[in-house]
Amino acid sequence: MAMTITEKILARAAGKDKVRAGDLIDANIDIVMCHDVTTPPAISMLKEKGIDKVFDPEKIVVTPDHFQPAKDIKSAELHKRLDTWAKEKKIKHYYKLGRAGVCHALLPEQGHIRPGEVIVGGDSHTCTYGAFGAFSTGIGSTDLAAAIATGQLWFKVPESIKFVLNGKLGKGVYSKDVILAVIARISTDGAIYKAMEFVGETLADMSMEARMTITNMAIEAGGKNGIIGFDDVTKAYLDEHLTDKKDYTVFESDADAEYESVEEFDCSKIEPMVALPHLPSGGVAIGECQGMEMDQAYIGSCTNGRIEDLRIAANIIKGKEVAIRTLIIPATPVIWKQAKDEGLFDIFYDAGCVISAPTCGACLGGFMGILAAGEKCVSTTNRNFVGRMGSPKSEVYLASPATAAASAVEGKLTDCRKYI
């Protein structure tokens, strides 16, 4: 029986020769990702049930990121509980303050993601890791507790939608623009509990960082997971970042695999995109919204806080002064140091930007960039729901790092192509 890449990975995890969409399976989990918001409730659930174990302390990766450094007493208590638990359970891969970073940038960077594996995490954007040919999905605290204790979870095998991305991206167009165009077409409920499989020649020219931006936002269309097949770009990244367990299994979709539907895109026609409030599906070409005044620009997050993103922004901002409050948030300490060593911080400092330690804070409206009523922010994050970054009377406009940087310089939504 022909299978998609997602079906093959889930079949392996369930110890089966084959599965099909709609099957209910018990899957073995290869990696469990834990952070400071959803993990403490999971720990409490386990304690209430008298479960005092983890299934494998080497397969659980822990990092505070949403409220790190702690912003108040409540967040400090969350960190304390996470810290105590990780030490008690002898969690091997625990990235504490000073080494902590935005989880979905940290795990691939530190070599915890391998093709063919099943990865879950207590965060909706865990789908990011599908860029490596893995099945990766977000779960809630209850399922997280079960995964931590048993190393297993049940899944309904999702149907797959194939997204064929063809054509060479134009000047000033990036993977963020591509995924905003995809979501604009199918809407925020266009792929509910579906595997979003991305293929096509456009991907060949994308780095792993760019590909992670695409799979990161699969959940914004309702997807169960986003996934991209293995190629030489994947291998090169893994050769650099895997420090142990360098063996992995590569799966590919069969040519005659069944898909719920196929969506084709001529990516050469995509322009720089902006998702207007208050949904990620509100994507329009920059020409339809340019000139709208902004109060803040945010460049960072699990979607666009990697070194490639910071370089793109720095190339536009260099030698200029930003016209609005502009936050630069490297996603991990490694990225932070690399940006500093490359002189990117000098560019941002000279331009009048705020440079922060790695954190998810502003993206979820936690801290480090909260919006007041009436304020507008052009952001490289993944969600622009009502009140997402602060006041319910504020507005968030999603864009690429290039568009956000150009808009920061001019203080209004700006076509980045004029600076490239």
Best CA proximity match to 348, nearest among 325, 368, 369: 325
Q: Are residues 213 and 282 in the same domain?
A: no
Give the residue from 224, 242, 265 where a domain finishes: 265
pLDDT of residue 97: 87
Cβ count near 55 (within 10 Å): 16
Q: Is the pLDDT of residue 387 over 80?
A: yes
| Boundary (domain end) residue, out of 207, 237, 265 | 265
Q: Which of 265, 286, 308 is a domain's end point?
A: 265
Looking at the fold, whether 242 and 93 belong to one and the same domain comes out as yes
Q: Please, are residues 131 and 233 in contact by the beta-carbon 8 Å criterion?
A: no
Q: How far from 210 is each of 42, 137, 204, 275, CA to CA, in Å?
A: 32, 19, 11, 18
The pLDDT score that the predictor gives to residue 413 is: 98
pLDDT tops 80 at residue 311: yes
Taking the CA of residue 411 as centre, how many other CA atoms within 13 Å lie in the half-sphere pointing to its CB? 6
User: pLDDT tens for residues 113-172?
Assistant: 999 999 999 999 999 999 999 999 999 999 999 999 999 999 999 999 999 999 999 999
Statement to judge: residues 396 and 308 lie in one domain: yes
Please tell me whether residues 241 and 287 are part of one structural domain: no
Q: Do 308 and 377 fall within a single domain?
A: yes
Judgement on whether residues 119 and 235 belong to the same structural domain of the protein: yes
Residue among 181, 213, 379 at smallest CA distance from 282: 181
CA distance 311 to 49: 48
Taking Cα atoms as reference points, which of 244, 254, 354 lies closest to residue 297? Answer: 354
316 lies in the same domain as 261: no
pLDDT of 386 > 90? The answer is yes
Residues 278-295: tens digit of each pLDDT = 999 999 999 999 999 999
Are 188 and 335 within one domain?
no
What integer pLDDT is reported at residue 243 of this predicted model?
Answer: 81
Q: How many CA atoms lie within 13 A of 169 on its CB side?
A: 22
Same domain, 257 and 330: no
Residues 205 and 280 in one domain: no
Q: Supply the range of the domain harboring residue 317.
A: 273-419
Same domain, 85 and 160: yes
Task: Give the residue-averaged pLDDT of 318-339.
Answer: 97
Same domain, 312 and 402: yes
Percentage of the chain modeled with pLDDT above 70 = 100
Listed residue (137, 91, 129, 93) closest to 108, CA to CA: 129
* Count of domains for the chain: 2
We report the CATH number of the domain holding residue 404 as 3.30.499.10
Estimate to the nearest angstrom the gap between the alpha carbon of 279 and the chain centroid: 17
